[in-house]
Amino acid sequence: LSSTIKVDDFTARLFRIYMQVLEEGLAQTVFLGINRSDYMFDCGGTAALRQIEINTIAASFGGLTSRTADVHRLVLNVLGKTEEASHLLPNNPAKGLALGIAKAWELYGSQRAVVMFLVEDVQRNIFDQRCVENELWNRNIRVVRKRFRDVFEQGSLDASRRLFVDGQEVAVVYYREGYVPQVYDQQNWEARLLLERSRAVKCPDIATQLAGTKKVQQELSRPGTLEKLLPGHPEAIARIRATFAGLYSLDEGEEGDRIAATAIADPDRFVLKPQREGGGNNLYGEELREVLEKIKDSPERTSYILMDKIKPQPALNYLLRAHSPLQVSKCISELGIFGVYVRQGQELVLNQAAGHLLRTKAIEHADGGVAAGVAVLDTPYLV
């Protein structure tokens, strides 16, 4: 991230907190990851699932998608399509995500401590979060919902760096907020630093959030990188690498100059990605060309990466969206696989898939997801 943090202030501030906590010494000994790796089926060249991105913070819709298959199964059964209904996979990511949080809470080692959902000031996806929350309450694990502002005003650390918010000890901080720069004023940055300095299990800790940046994803695709991370596992490396789309650095230098010129000449081949989460940030086509033309000779270009544009095969489907007529559309889908891991020190305690998410949208929408009102939740149908 050395080139990125020179030009991307948000990533740089996260990195400074990471370095400060590292220099002070980590109080956190249990680590929890809730990730979602997203794929599309690429029909350009060799047909295969290609990874779009990996989400390491606030990976959403694990709750709502736990209900989607049941809705579709009920509709098919009501229509007398019992055979078709049997082709829908059972799916309950909320249970799997809660399992990881519960294991981290248990390893933290205090029955009195709570799980804290760190949420937005204005919550637009609360029912998705409630599904995971209810799974925790069913395990007799207390859950509180707090904002950065609450942490700043009510949060403190004791001599052992245990985290207390409003007088309650916090075992696990589950971030459903904190991935876009707009939410961080000075008080919220101070709250984030307090959380990271604490002994509480952060999901994710700031190092894992940085590991989910587009720049790190691009660097992982470089020849030799996976071999360093997975020595002695050539088959696993081959399987992982087979999912990679072409990813290209825009760092200053000959290689970056060449790929920038290629994308300007043929922008429909690529997607320009900034170091941002939350959807709706990518650039395509003429907009991609205009931005690259503007920054091609500037260090600012290193805040982006380029990815080969995936060419999925459209399928006809109906999209049920609020305030939109029900009509058949040419659609494309994106498959997300949830994963959960828990580590205590160097010991890997839990590492498993936790379910899937399918989102479908009409082909005329290049970018934007469910929260933007463009895509809908869907269910895979096995044939």
Active-site residue flag, 214: yes
3-state secondary structure of 251: coil
Q: Is 263 annotated in some ligand binding site? A: no
Q: Which of 214, 215, 289, 301 is catalytic?
A: 214
Q: Is 182 annotated in some ligand binding site? A: no
Whole-angstrom distance, CA of residue 263 vs CA of residue 181: 27
By the 8 A CB rule, do 55 and 352 touch?
no
Q: Is 33 annotated in some ligand binding site? A: no
Active-site residue flag, 324: no
Q: Is 129 annotated in some ligand binding site? A: yes
Q: Which of 273, 303, 333, 369 is catalytic?
A: 273
Active-site residue flag, 103: no
Cis peptide before 204 (omega within 30 of 0): yes
Q: Is 171 annotated in some ligand binding site? A: no
The DSSP secondary-structure symbol of 95 reads H
Q: Is 256 annotated in some ligand binding site? A: no
Q: Is 234 annotated in some ligand binding site? A: no
Q: Is 59 annotated in some ligand binding site? A: yes
Q: Which of 192, 333, 359, 369 is catalytic?
A: 359
**For the chain, what is the radius of gyration of the CA atoms?**
22
Q: Which of 3, 35, 55, 303 is catalytic?
A: 55
Q: Which of 73, 197, 277, 336 is catalytic?
A: 277
Active-site residue flag, 277: yes
Estimate to the nearest angstrom the gap between the alpha carbon of 230 and the chain centroid. 22
By the 8 A CB rule, do 371 and 59 touch?
no
By the 8 A CB rule, do 62 and 374 touch?
no
Q: Is 44 annotated in some ligand binding site? A: no
Active-site residue flag, 73: no
Distances (CA, A) of 156 to 12, 69, 102, 193, 225: 25, 42, 23, 11, 40
Q: Which of 3, 37, 60, 249 is catalytic?
A: 60
Active-site residue flag, 278: yes
Q: Is 307 annotated in some ligand binding site? A: yes
Q: Is 280 annotated in some ligand binding site? A: yes
Active-site residue flag, 198: no
Q: Is 55 annotated in some ligand binding site? A: yes
Q: Is 309 annotated in some ligand binding site? A: yes
Q: Which of 3, 53, 135, 146 is catalytic?
A: 53
Buried b (16+ CB within 10 A) or exposed e, 88-114: beebbbbbbbbbbbbbbbbbbeeeebb
| Other Cβ atoms within 10 Å of 139 Cβ, number | 12
Active-site residue flag, 359: yes
Q: Which of 3, 33, 35, 36 is catalytic?
A: 36
Active-site residue flag, 311: no
Q: What is the DSSP string of 257-303?
A: HHHHHHHHH-GGGEEEEES--SSS--B-HHHHHHHHHHHTTSGGGGG
Q: Is 58 annotated in some ligand binding site? A: yes
Q: Which of 246, 278, 285, 368 is catalytic?
A: 278
Which residues are marked as active site? Answer: 36, 53, 55, 60, 214, 273, 277-278, 359
Residues at the binding site for Mg(2+) are 53, 55, 277
Which parts are annotated binding residues?
36, 53, 55, 57-60, 123-125, 129, 176-179, 214, 273-282, 284, 307-310, 334, 359, 361, 367, 370-371
Binding site for substrate: residue ranges? 36, 57-60, 123-125, 129, 176-179, 359, 370-371
